[in-house]
Amino acid sequence: MNRHRKTDLPGPKARALIARDAEVVSPSYPREGPLAMSHGRGCEVWDLDGNRFLDFAAGIAVCSTGHAHPEVVAAIKDAADRFLHISSDWWHEGMVRLAERLAAVAPFREPAMSFFCQSGTEAVEAALKLARYATGRPRFLGFLGSFHGRTMGSLAFTSSKATQVKGFFPAMPGVTHVPYPNPLRPLFAGNDQGRAVLDYIENQLFEGPVPPSEVAAILVEPIQGEGGYLVPPNGFLAGLRALCDRHGILLIFDEVQSGVGRTGRMFACEHWNVEPDLMTLAKGLGSGLPIGALVARRSIMERWPSGAHGNTYGGNPIACAAAIATLDLVERELQANAAEVGGYLFAKLTELARKHEQIAEVRGRGLMIGMEVVADRATLQPDPDLVDTVIERAFHNGLLLLSCGKSTIRFMPPLVVTRAEVDEAIEILAASFEEALAGVNASPAVTA
Ligand code: PLP
């Protein structure tokens, strides 16, 4: 049903590129489908063979302002015309201005300071190092199903998929995992899974194997991303805040995926009015340019002295220019668009869920929405094969999607997405769902 398809998928040019890639690029990348991109505008992407796709994955929630937003491209060109790099050994306007902008929007009552890097995992590493440095404590709590990155510190927390962890033990020691509250799939007795997790930490862990006086920080995604787009029950983040305050533990919110307007607020934690002590950002912050940031309450960040942590590329002038232009757009219009069009998308997905026994739940905030797919609603048995087939059919029909968790399709289009584009995406999704249920043949293998 792809009205914009010019060739079979993958087309000859895509196949040729994918074959060359297989010879020289690491096979460790978790590839989703045989898209070989040529160019993009807004929510649209074209492949090398001229096929057009609607992009509801946004480069894993990165292209917040859409592909090649003219204001972001102009800011990048302007910065590139002046200089490409100076390093954090010296000063430049863009880095200071970006830190000022982040301080103005940071969800802290106290003034904020920023540390810059290139990626989400580095922002998390910086948060872990600062938490250890500032508290003098060695341990951390993290959450089952979380994703915080793939370097040895963040990997010690990451637990959304076994393949990300298997073969790399030991990562950083001292991390204890706790269940992330999930009312659809409760691990504890009772109706309030958030309360139950908090009680488990307080009564089981803190009175047993994890003395709270040794815990530097709790690292948590305010909406769990790779683990399944799980929205925590009301009161959970506030409960974590209270628990941290009782024990002198720092609270780190990883907003790498949920931050910078994606959920219809600048940061997801604002939905519950809960303040972290440290916050990590990346992905949508640079609209596609590699930039990460650790934003911290000033009284914590000013504790580490010159030389305690740094890097070569942090605060790169081009990445900073892209981030400032992104924040301008998000503040001016995209945050509101994410809330408005996100609500529309949520309603449309909920309508689709009413038609299909295999859609157990639609959940999320703004343009961070997950649709959990199961064998049937009675058993809630995850059905990852159905998820893969729907995503594959959607690709063939001209819609880019990604999965998350065990059995969830996620929707994270650029924040510029319109209602008309949502209508088109829903039409393709509905048809793809029908095709998948009818057992339409899967696409040819990526490298065939
Ligand atoms: N934290 C969260 C919540 C993420 O979703 C991700 C990436 O998906 C990361 C950290 C790691 O970011 P990066 O891939 O830029 O290292």
Atom of ligand 1 nearest to the CA of 226: 5
* Ligand 1 pocket, residue 404 CB under 6 Å: no
Residue 64 in contact with residue 284, Cβ under 8 Å? yes
In a domain, 360, yes or no: yes
Do 61 and 80 lie in one domain? The reply is: no
C-alpha 147 to ligand 1 mean position (Å): 7
Question: Nearest C-alpha to atom 13 of ligand 1 is from which residue?
Answer: 120
In a domain, 50, yes or no: yes
In a domain, 93, yes or no: yes
Domain boundary among 330, 350, 368: 330
Do 58 and 177 lie in one domain? The reply is: no
Count: domains in the chain:
2
- DSSP readout, 173-232? S-EEEEPPP-TTS-SSSSS-HHHHHHHIIIIIITTTTS-GGGEEEEEE-SSB-TTT-BPP
C-alpha 150 to ligand 1 mean position (Å): 8
C-alpha 114 to ligand 1 mean position (Å): 18
* Ligand 1 pocket, residue 119 CB under 6 Å: yes
Domain boundary among 284, 307, 330: 330
Q: Is the peptide bond before 170 cis (omega within 30 degrees of 0)?
A: yes
* Ligand 1 pocket, residue 124 CB under 6 Å: yes
Do 191 and 314 lie in one domain? The reply is: yes
Do 298 and 370 lie in one domain? The reply is: no
Atom of ligand 1 nearest to the CA of 121: 16
In a domain, 7, yes or no: no
d(CA 11, CA 204): 56
C-alpha 59 to ligand 1 mean position (Å): 12
Do 199 and 255 lie in one domain? The reply is: yes
Do 99 and 238 lie in one domain? The reply is: yes
Q: Closest Cα partner for 281 from 126, 100, 174, 162? A: 126
Q: Closest Cα partner for 335 from 364, 291, 365? A: 365
* Ligand 1 pocket, residue 135 CB under 6 Å: no
CATH (domain of 415): 3.90.1150.10
Domain boundary among 303, 330, 357: 330
* Ligand 1 pocket, residue 224 CB under 6 Å: no
C-alpha 438 to ligand 1 mean position (Å): 35
In a domain, 192, yes or no: yes
> What pLDDT tens digit does each residue of the chain (448 aa) get?
677 788 999 999 999 999 999 999 999 999 989 999 999 999 999 999 999 999 999 999 999 999 999 999 999 999 999 999 999 999 999 999 999 999 999 999 999 999 999 999 999 999 999 999 999 999 999 999 999 999 999 999 999 999 999 999 999 999 999 999 999 999 999 999 999 999 999 999 999 999 999 999 999 999 999 999 999 999 999 999 999 999 999 999 999 999 999 999 999 999 999 999 999 999 999 999 999 999 999 999 999 999 999 999 999 999 999 999 999 999 999 999 999 999 999 999 999 999 999 999 999 999 999 999 999 999 999 999 999 999 999 999 999 999 999 999 999 999 999 999 999 999 999 999 999 999 875 444 443 3
Do 63 and 209 lie in one domain? The reply is: no
Do 366 and 433 lie in one domain? The reply is: yes
In a domain, 158, yes or no: yes
Do 235 and 295 lie in one domain? The reply is: yes
Q: Closest Cα partner for 314 from 36, 154, 89, 135? A: 89
CATH (domain of 130): 3.40.640.10
Boundaries of domain holding 191: 70-330
Do 364 and 337 lie in one domain? The reply is: yes
Helix (H) or strand (E) holding 363: strand 359-365
d(CA 236, CA 200): 13
C-alpha 6 to ligand 1 mean position (Å): 34
Do 130 and 178 lie in one domain? The reply is: yes
* Ligand 1 pocket, residue 253 CB under 6 Å: no
Do 195 and 259 lie in one domain? The reply is: yes
C-alpha 320 to ligand 1 mean position (Å): 19
In a domain, 53, yes or no: yes
In a domain, 223, yes or no: yes
* Best residue among 118, 121, 262 to mutate for probing ligand 1, ranked by most atoms within 8 Å of CB: 121
pTM over 0.95? The answer is yes
